[in-house]
Structure 1
Amino acid sequence: MRILGVDPGLTRCGFGVVDMAGNRKAHFVDAGVAGTQAADALDARVLHIQQAMQSWLETYQPDVMAIERVFAQESVNTVIGTAHASGVVIAAAASAGVPVAWHTPSEVKAAVTGSGRADKASVGRMVTRILNLDSVPKPADAADALALAICHGWRSGVIGTGINMSTNVQTHQGSVPKSRASGGMTPAQRAWKDAEEKSRRGR
């Protein structure tokens, strides 16, 4: 399964592509960002993000796109800008027939680090380790996009766990091998469960 992760933003929109094998082994394909200037007109900035997204879709032909769910936890201007970018990215994916999956920041952090409160540096280090890279992807938006892709791959119904794209059902079995699915949860899986429960309470 090829997954395109997107960390939406108008100033910097992160993109990350991974191939996820059936054994949940993630393989790095590419990562980068599309940036715009705050001084530019809003319509031009939104168009640039849309065109960048279309380019990534055409180049890498992902099976699914994973995007960060927008939370109003920062300044109003930041949230609005993120929402603008999210909208055009989602529309571009839908236009290309690519399914879209949403993950909260806490879910992504818990997936790759085991803690839903991990900082960006910790996420970057774990992404580097998981993908067996020589260095942490830069800028942080690219690393976050890769983390989104990894998170979705480990939870996806396509490989037997997580979000089932056909039923919209979520489970908490993220990266649990089938032989352990009925047993106790690891710290990372408990963190996933806590993050999902907090997300549902906040909806």
Structure 2
Amino acid sequence: MRIVGIDPGLRITGFGVIEFHQQRLQYIASGVIKTSNLTESDSARLGTIFESVTEVLATYQPDIASVEKVFLNVNPKSTLALGQARGAAITALVCQKLQVYEFSALEVKKNVVGSGRATKEQVQEMIRRLLNLKSAPSKDASDALAVAICAAHHHQMNLQIQKSSKLK
């Protein structure tokens, strides 16, 4: 199963693609979508996120998708911008008829690192180790890979529950 993870942001959106087969994780790709051109309007940035996520999907052909949920920020404008970026990414995913899992940052960190209060550096290091990488991807790409790994674990657990339900 191929899974894409998205860490949305209006200026930088991370993406990560993994394979999950027989409880083994394999790194496929990761990177960032940058929309930090200050002359670009917010609506143009959202269009770039949508188009770029669509391109990632066409390139890597995932089976399912996962996105980090919006957290409430002290600054309402930042929270709104994050929500809009997330919406653009989710729209790209559902336009491709993908099942989308959504996880909070706390859930992702707890699932991947073992602590919901893990730092970005701890997430990067755990991603490097779990995917057997020579170096850690950028923070945004690592976060996206962590979201994908969380979805892999969640999907596997759901399959096991379904199997055990059928046995009864």
What TM-score, normalized to structure 2?
A: 0.90
Identity among equivalent positions (%) equals: 37
Structure 2's unaligned 5+ residue stretches are none
Tell me by how many angstroms 1:94 deviates. 0.9
The answer to which structure has the higher strand fraction is 2
The answer to which structure has the higher helix fraction is 2
Structure 1's unaligned 5+ residue stretches are 165-170, 172-177, 179-203
Tell me by how many angstroms 1:74 deviates. 4.0
Q: Show the 5 A alignment for 1:5-154.
A: 5-22=5-22, 24-37=23-36, 38-138=38-138, 140-154=139-153
* Aligned mates of 1:127, 1:34 — CA distance in 2: 19
Change over 3 Å in CA distance of 1:78–1:97 after alignment to 2: same
Paired residues, what number? 160
What TM-score, normalized to structure 1?
A: 0.75
Relative contact order higher in (CA < 8 Å, ≥ 6 apart): 2
Tell me by how many angstroms 1:77 deviates. 2.1
Give the letter aligned to residue 154 of structure 2. R
Secondary structure at 2:6's aligned position in 1? Answer: strand
Cα RMSD after superposing both structures: 1.5
Residues 130-165 of structure 1: per-residue CA shift (max 9 Å, x gap): 000000102x10000000001110121xx3x04x6x
Secondary structure at 1:49's aligned position in 2? Answer: helix
Secondary structure at 1:122's aligned position in 2? Answer: helix
Tell me by how many angstroms 1:6 deviates. 0.0
